[in-house]
Amino acid sequence: MNKPLFVCNTIDRPHDLERLISSAEAEGVDLLICHEYGFRIAAQRYTDLFAIGVLHGYDAIGWIADDCEFRPGFLNGLYNEIASAEDCAENIPVYSDCWVLGLNQANLPKGSKKAFPVVSLPLIKYFRERLLAVGCPDYNHFFVDDEMCEFAEKHPQAQFWFAEEAEINHHHRGAVKGMKPDDTHRLLRQNSSSDKATRSKRTSLGYLWGMDLRLVNDDRQPYGFHDWADKSTELDLQWVTN
């Protein structure tokens, strides 16, 4: 497969972003960064960048946070895990190229295995052809990655795979000892309580974005649909290609 693309939305974190870019350049990872100047729900942010990535011919697209860095050997590890996922899929009733991989937050032993999903092109096209947002629009910021991975787990022609060899460091200000919250952390954490309540409602009702289009927050319905147009000229973008 061709090299995957990682997309990142950043809000006023120049030092974090410099570390992420340096690690991408060292590991040969392609990045598409969108500089945000206000909060937008995750479904909008991710789908805008996924649409651009598809137009540029990438076979897989993942999202990454500005407070992350790619560990040495990341890209080779990711390719190994993709090969393992596709080899495994040959023996079960799924399409071998329909997968979502979760990256390994190696510096956070208790970190979620369903964080920072990498989505294969056939599954991206699943959303694109239906003009659906990538990521559940019920959420502001949190749990979008969880539902994407759970969608791959439960879809009869897809799979979720934890990519243990694809290691990143996540310098999470709420999880790494000694790191203090910054304005961006506080801005994002404002969505924690409402997103937890939404997650609880969706789980209890059995809703799963992609398997169905049901939402619990009525005001979010318009955000579920996306034209997948190229918004390159409307966004403040920065490419890092290697």
Q: What is the 3-state secondary structure (H, E, C) of 144-163?
A: HHHHHHHHHHHCCCCEEEEE
Does an H or E element contain 77, and which?
helix 74-89
* Residue for token pair 């390719």: 79
Please report the pLDDT score of residue 94 as a whole number: 47
pLDDT at 1: 67
Query: Rounded distance, CA 171 to CA 177, Å?
Result: 10
**Which backbone phi and psi does 141 adopt, to 5 degrees?**
-145, -45
d(CA 211, CA 116) in angstroms, rounded, equals 20
pTM of the complete model: 0.94
CB 223 within 8 A of CB 133: yes
The predicted pLDDT at position 96 comes to 59
Among 2.70.98, 3.30.70, 3.90.550, 3.30.559, name the CATH number for the domain at 5-172+188-240: 3.90.550
pLDDT (tens place) for every residue of the chain, 242 residues total:
678 999 999 999 999 999 999 999 999 999 999 999 888 999 999 999 999 999 999 999 999 999 999 999 999 999 999 998 888 765 555 455 889 999 999 999 888 899 999 999 999 999 999 999 999 999 999 999 999 999 999 998 889 999 999 999 999 877 667 778 778 888 888 889 999 999 999 999 999 999 999 999 989 988 899 999 999 999 999 999 98
**144/87 Cα distance (integer angstroms):** 27
Per the CB < 8 A criterion, the answer to whether 148 and 134 are in contact is yes
Q: If you search the block for the tokens 């910054």, which residue do you land on?
A: 182
130, 213 in Cβ contact below 8 A? no
Angle (nearest 5°) at CA 209 between 204 and 211: 95
* 237 CB burial (10 A radius; 0-12, 13-18, 19+): middle
> Amino acid letter at 205?
L
b/e burial code for range 23-57 (CB count within 10 A of at least 16 → b): bbeebebbbbbbbeeebbbbbbbbbbbbbbbbeee
Q: d(Cα 96, Cα 83) in Å, to the nearest integer?
A: 10
